[in-house]
């Protein structure tokens, strides 16, 4: 069979050397799978799932050679790289206050990953604490998260290699910046929770690079001891797919652990009170259908965020002795969604958002509003941090065209002060943010944020990029993107649609675009495109769409279901084979979002929209750039491999189908400055080139 692959590999690699775009025709090796004894599905490109085959590696090499040549032409024609490189420059990363120190990550070279710096005073000189190059010079090491011990003497930090979701933990002494010998491995989707002279963390069983991830375990590591001696705190043998979230209270009195069963939609909450005579892990809630997450403690009570009755996320007090009598302490903003909560010793800082407009709300522990500060539409309030026992809050403001501006905010006097900002070379006052609402065929009102240069003429011919996410109840927030700045300055219109499936309008909004209702997300997105055309902003020859992860699924489905609406399509790290997604890595965790092929109803729903399975042989689909990463162990890259292979191998496909596979990168993408700018230039250069008059 390997010789059979090799013969075909010789045939399909020859076209990649041509000067102009020529598709790479991939050999079809039919493999059939029977679902529910009545659906026989043939997969011609399943062999590309074996990423270790030399034929697969050669195929990827040829795809990258083809796309690199085409994308360089796009970038040159649109000036994308030079322009994005100029706008991308930022002078700081928002400082985070942990314990007695201020931390931030920063690049110290174009081809390095960001290092971790710290300082004792906010205006003091920063020193490098962790240099990822010292961990490995061969692999791209990224620092992913860190936590300071109670007395600010130690810092435990997580890092990954090559963009993988698998993490390792090391520890450094904050007094002298010297590393300790502690080194933990096998960590995935874990936080760090300090307790006395050690910390809690979680591991998973690993079954190969893209094997199913299950059997999470929670451990306690004592500083100075080997990982083999760590204490096992919690695991679930009968439900190996259950996941855990855990933390300790700021005063280290309580440890709390949440066990999540996503298939059944229930959770169990456990806690341990270390001031009791016999501290032990005991249940607080069992088989709870409503989501709940413990944040911290205050006056012998636990502070949590939960959904309750008809309300979305609210903040409550919980008395461990009487946990079923919840006391609501957050105001009921019926038209806003709670995004962030930062507890302090005598008050709570919250961030809400109402239709792309955030506001900061300071509460006391009785729920009284002490201060409310509103921000402009289209702006994001991010990076909130502060020492629980002090009065300083740090955050930054940003939007699609504004690099982050860092603030120090006193939660007693409510006084903000700018501490960091980046100079820009363009006039922000000439960039317009406009909110639009359109009504879908089933009578739902969907909001969309438009960003463009002042004076833009609605002539039905405006180059337009439409983007969305629409999944997992995630609230989408604007973030600075120099590619959008370049596109807008060149006369383009950027639009973001808040489609169902996201959390922009609360729990029901998310539920209405989840599971059996997933098609609602795609319909909303398609109707957003139709709205832009009907309102005379643009037309199908001037409309490009893009999205990442679940957003990549949205734009891929839209392109397959309505190819007549779009000129260019860029799905990034997208799940595209929805019949096999749950067989790899953490796909099984997402059954609550997508459903499962194990039920007939779930299979039929997934099969109805799975982009890979709904490609029609006779259709010339819009130009596409599929972007993925070779180490993406959240959405394995062969989703994009197979999708590209099937699209390219049909004679009807005349528009270019490109595949860009990033090396040493994972689901979050590339990690160095130069790679980030190159990736943006690839994506925006491709879309802008396709939207140009030719």
What's the whole-number mean pLDDT along residues 467-471? 98
First-to-last C-alpha distance (Å) of the chain: 44
Does the pLDDT at position 245 exceed 60?
yes
Q: How many residues does the chain have?
A: 694
> Would you place residue 631 in the very low, low, confident or very high pLDDT band (cuts 50, 70, 90)?
very high
- Residues of the chain with pLDDT > 70: what percent? 96
CA angle 371, 433, 459 (to 5 degrees): 165
Closest CA to 295 of 371, 392, 365: 365
Residue 175 buriedness (CB in 10 A; 0-12 / 13-18 / 19+): exposed
Q: What are phi and psi of 33, to 5 degrees?
A: -135, 130
The span from the CA of 204 to the CA of 147, in Å, is 20
Query: Structure tokens of 140?
Result: 């791209």
3-state secondary structure of 132: helix
Backbone angles phi, psi at 209, to 5 degrees: -65, -45
506 vs 529: CA distance, rounded Å: 23
Distance CA 381, CA 478 (A): 9
Which helix (H) or strand (E) element contains residue 34? strand 31-35
Q: What is the mean pLDDT of residues 266-271?
A: 94
Distance CA 553, CA 576 (A): 6
Number of other CB atoms surrounding residue 441 within 10 Å:
9
pLDDT at 9 over 60: no
Phi, psi at residue 123, to the nearest 5°? Answer: -100, 10
> Does the pLDDT of residue 135 top 80, yes or no?
yes
Q: Is the pLDDT of residue 256 over 70?
A: yes
Nearest Cα residue to 212 out of 221, 204, 201, 203: 204
SS3 9: helix
pLDDT tens, 599-625?
999 999 999 999 999 999 999 999 999
Q: Is 556 left (phi over 0), alpha (psi -120 to 50) or beta?
A: alpha
- Is the per-residue pLDDT at 18 higher than 50? no
Cα 638 to Cα 49: distance, rounded to the nearest angstrom: 5
Fold of domain 93-333: Methylamine Dehydrogenase; Chain H (2.130.10)
pLDDT of residue 92: 60
Task: Give dist(CA 534, CA 565) in Å, integer.
Answer: 12
CA distance 547 to 468: 6
- Is the Cα dihedral 414, 417, 422, 423 positive or negative? positive
Residue where the block lists tokens 């229930």: 266
| Residue 254 and residue 323 in contact, taking contact as beta carbons nearer than 8 Å | no
Pairing relationship of beta strands 198-205 and 193-195 according to DSSP bridges: antiparallel
* Cα–Cα dist 559/555, whole Å: 6
Cα distance between residue 7 and residue 573, in whole Å: 30
Region class of 229: left (phi > 0), else alpha (psi between -120 and 50), else beta: alpha
Q: Specify the pTM.
A: 0.93
DSSP structure class, residue 69: H
| Domain 2-78+426-691: which CATH number of 3.40.50.150, 3.40.50.1820, 3.30.230.20, 3.40.50.720 | 3.40.50.1820
Average pLDDT over residues 228-243: 89
Tokens 């109670």 belong to residue? 150
pLDDT score at 693: 75
- Phi then psi for residue 565, to 5 deg, are -90, -15
Answer yes or no: is pLDDT of 586 > 70: yes
Sign of CA dihedral 65, 59, 637, 111: negative
259, β-bridge pairs: 244, 268
Q: Specify the pLDDT at position 308.
A: 59
pLDDT at 338: 93
Mean pLDDT score of the chain, rounded to an integer? 92
Measured distance CA(167)–CA(162) in Å, rounded: 10
Cα distances from 149 to residues 145, 158, 198, 271, 582, in angstroms, run 14, 14, 8, 20, 37
Nearest-angstrom CA–CA distance, 493 and 303: 43
Tokens of 69: 């040549």
Q: Please classify residue 195 by burial: count the beta carbons closer than 10 Å to its beta carbon, then call 0-12 exposed, 13-18 middle and 19+ buried.
A: middle
Q: Measuring CA to CA, which residue among 192, 365, 194 is closest to residue 274? A: 194
* Sign of the CA dihedral running 574, 579, 584, 587: positive
pLDDT of residue 624: 98
Pair 368, 391: CB distance under 8 Å: no
Identify the pLDDT of residue 274.
Answer: 94
Which among 389, 373, 370 is positioned nearest to 381, based on CA atoms?
A: 373
286-306 confidence digits (pLDDT tens): 998 878 999 999 999 999 999
Q: Check residue 90 and give its pLDDT.
A: 66
As a whole number of angstroms, the distance between CA 202 and CA 233 comes to 10
């Amino acid at each position: 069979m390997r010789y059979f692959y090799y013969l075909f590999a010789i045939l399909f690699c020859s076209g990649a050397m041509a000067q102009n775009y020529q598709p790479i025709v991939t050999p079809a090796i039919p493999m059939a799978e029977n679902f529910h004894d009545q659906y026989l599905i043939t997969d011609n490109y399943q062999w590309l799932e074996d990423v270790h085959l030399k034929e697969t590696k050669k195929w990827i090499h040829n795809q990258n050679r083809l796309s690199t040549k085409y994308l360089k032409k796009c970038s040159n024609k649109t000036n994308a790289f030079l322009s994005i490189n100029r706008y991308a420059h930022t002078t700081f990363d928002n400082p985070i206050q942990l314990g007695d120190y201020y931390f931030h990550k920063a690049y110290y070279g174009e081809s390095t990953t960001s290092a971790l710096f710290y300082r004792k005073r906010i205006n003091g000189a920063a020193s490098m604490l962790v240099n990822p190059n010292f961990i490995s010079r061969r692999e791209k090491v990224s620092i992913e998260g860190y936590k300071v011990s109670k007395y600010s003497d130690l810092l435990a930090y997580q890092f990954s290699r090559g963009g993988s979701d698998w993490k390792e933990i090391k520890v450094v002494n904050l007094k002298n910046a010297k590393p300790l010998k502690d080194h933990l491995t096998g960590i995935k989707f874990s936080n760090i929770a300090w307790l006395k002279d050690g910390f809690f963390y979680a591991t998973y069983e690993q079954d190969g690079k893209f094997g199913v991830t299950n059997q999470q375990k929670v451990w306690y590591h004592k500083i100075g001891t080997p990982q083999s001696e760590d204490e096992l705190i919690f695991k679930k043998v009968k439900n190996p797919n259950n996941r855990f979230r855990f933390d300790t209270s700021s005063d280290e009195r309580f440890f709390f652990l949440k066990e999540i069963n996503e298939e059944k939609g229930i959770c169990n909450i456990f806690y341990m009170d270390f001031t009791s005579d016999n501290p032990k892990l005991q249940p607080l809630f069992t088989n709870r259908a409503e989501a709940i997450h413990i944040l911290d403690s205050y006056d012998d009570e636990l502070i949590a965020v939960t959904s309750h009755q008809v309300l979305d996320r609210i903040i409550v007090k919980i008395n461990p002795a009487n946990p079923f009598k919840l006391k609501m302490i957050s105001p009921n903003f019926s038209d806003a969604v709670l995004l962030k909560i930062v507890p302090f010793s005598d008050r709570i800082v919250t961030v809400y958002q109402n239709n792309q407009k955030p506001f900061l709300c300071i509460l006391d522990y009785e729920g009284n509003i002490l201060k409310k500060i509103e921000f402009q539409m289209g702006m994001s309030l991010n990076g909130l941090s502060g020492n629980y026992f002090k009065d300083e809050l740090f955050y930054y403001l940003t939007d699609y065209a504004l690099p982050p501006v860092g603030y120090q905010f006193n939660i007693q006097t409510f006084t903000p002060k700018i501490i960091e900002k980046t100079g820009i070379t363009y006039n922000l006052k000439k960039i317009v943010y406009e909110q639009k609402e359109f009504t879908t065929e089933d009578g739902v009102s969907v909001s969309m944020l438009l960003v463009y240069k002042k004076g833009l003429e609605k002539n039905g011919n405006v180059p337009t990029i439409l983007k969305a996410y629409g999944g997992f109840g995630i609230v989408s927030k604007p973030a600075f993107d120099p590619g959008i700045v370049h596109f807008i300055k060149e006369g383009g219109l950027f639009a973001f649609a808040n489609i169902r499936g996201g959390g922009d309008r609360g729990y029901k909004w998310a539920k209405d675009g989840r599971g059996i209702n997933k098609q609602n997300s795609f319909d909303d997105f398609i109707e957003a495109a139709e709205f832009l055309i009907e309102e005379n902003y643009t037309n199908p020859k001037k409309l490009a769409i893009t999205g990442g992860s679940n957003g990549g699924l949205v734009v891929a489905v839209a392109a397959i279901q309505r190819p007549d609406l779009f000129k260019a399509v860029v799905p990034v790290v997208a799940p595209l084979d929805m019949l096999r997604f749950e067989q790899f890595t953490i796909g099984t965790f997402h059954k609550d979002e997508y459903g499962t092929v194990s039920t007939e109803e779930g299979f039929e729903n997934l099969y109805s929209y799975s982009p890979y399975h709904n490609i029609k042989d006779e259709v010339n689909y819009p130009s596409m750039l599929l972007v993925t990463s070779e180490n993406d162990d959240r959405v394995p890259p062969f989703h994009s491999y197979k999708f590209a292979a099937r699209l390219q191998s049909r004679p009807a496909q005349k528009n270019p189908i490109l595949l860009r596979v990033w090396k040493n990168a994972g689901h979050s993408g590339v990690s160095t400055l130069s790679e980030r700018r190159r990736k943006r230039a690839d994506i925006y250069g491709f879309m802008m080139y396709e939207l140009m008059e030719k």
